[in-house]
């Protein structure tokens, strides 16, 4: 099936293409949608649909969007929905990591439990809508380790691999990540139609 992904995040797009490799995954710019959507929702689901629906004007194919975030327990779930702009509008992922490490500097390693959450919105050509959610548990460490991935990956340590998301390969991340778990459910759903 042709699936258009509503995202401007190249790291996400590359993961989605690998995980949905049995489908023909197109980017929003492939359908001429060079737009940035204001994420004004108060849930991952709402934001994911805002992104997906904005692409409907450009294509009548299946559209998906991912809204995701990092939830740190001792920060009451922050940065959560605001992960992409944690250090402010227009800041870099590195500035977000610096702010996160500063806010966590007084906590013990084992206290810094966290999870990545991904919500995938699916918009069918007939207007039908579905969402699929995935989560991945980990710990925030106090130094950056590894080069792979994007966003908070260098400080997100996973027990399964005893390494950060930036130290493991794409294939390893795509076997346990929040995005993989959500997209696996999407894949199963698409297989039924």
91 binds ligand ITT (CB under 6 A): no
CA distance 28 to 66: 13
Q: Is 31 in the site for ligand ITT (CB under 6 A)?
A: no
List of residues 6+ apart from 18 with CB closer than 8 A: 170, 171, 174
Among 19, 50, 58, 68, binds ligand ITT (CB under 6 A): 68
Task: Determine, following the binding rule CB under 6 A, whether residue 27 of this chain makes contact with ligand ITT.
Answer: no
CA distance linking residue 138 with residue 116, whole number of Å: 8
Establish if 166 lies at the interface with ligand ITT (CB under 6 A): no
**CA-to-CA distance for 88 and 94, rounded, in angstroms?**
12
Is 161 a binding residue for ligand ITT by CB under 6 A? The answer is no
Residue 191 a catalytic site member = no
Query: Which residues in 109-148 contact ligand ITT (CB under 6 A)?
Result: 116
Give the nearest distance from C-beta 192 to ligand ITT in angstroms: 26
CA atoms within 13 A on the CB side of 166: 15
106: which residues sit within 8 A by CB, 6+ positions away?
none
Residues with catalytic roles: 67
Interface residues toward ligand ITT, by CB under 6 A: 7-9, 12, 39, 51, 66-70, 83-84, 93, 96, 116, 149-153, 165, 177, 179
């Amino acid at each position: 099936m042709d699936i258009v992904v509503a995202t401007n995040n190249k790291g996400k797009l590359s993961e989605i293409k690998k995980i949905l490799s049995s489908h023909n995954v197109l980017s929003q710019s492939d359908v001429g949608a060079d737009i940035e959507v204001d994420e004004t929702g108060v849930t991952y689901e709402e934001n994911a649909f805002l992104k997906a629906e904005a692409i409907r004007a450009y294509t009548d194919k299946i559209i998906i969007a991912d809204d995701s975030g990092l939830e740190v327990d001792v920060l009451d779930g922050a940065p959560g929905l605001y992960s992409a702009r944690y250090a402010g509008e227009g800041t870099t992922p590195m500035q977000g990591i610096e702010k996160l490490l500063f806010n966590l500097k007084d906590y013990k390693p084992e206290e810094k439990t966290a999870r990545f959450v991904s919500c995938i919105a699916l918009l069918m050509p007939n207007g039908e809508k579905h969402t699929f959610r995935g989560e991945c548990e980990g710990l925030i460490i106090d130094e950056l380790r590894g080069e792979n991935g994007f966003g908070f990956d260098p400080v997100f340590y996973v027990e399964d691999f005893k390494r950060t998301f930036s130290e493991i390969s794409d294939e390893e991340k795509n076997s346990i990540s929040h995005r993989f778990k959500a997209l696996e459910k999407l894949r199963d759903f698409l297989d039924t139609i």
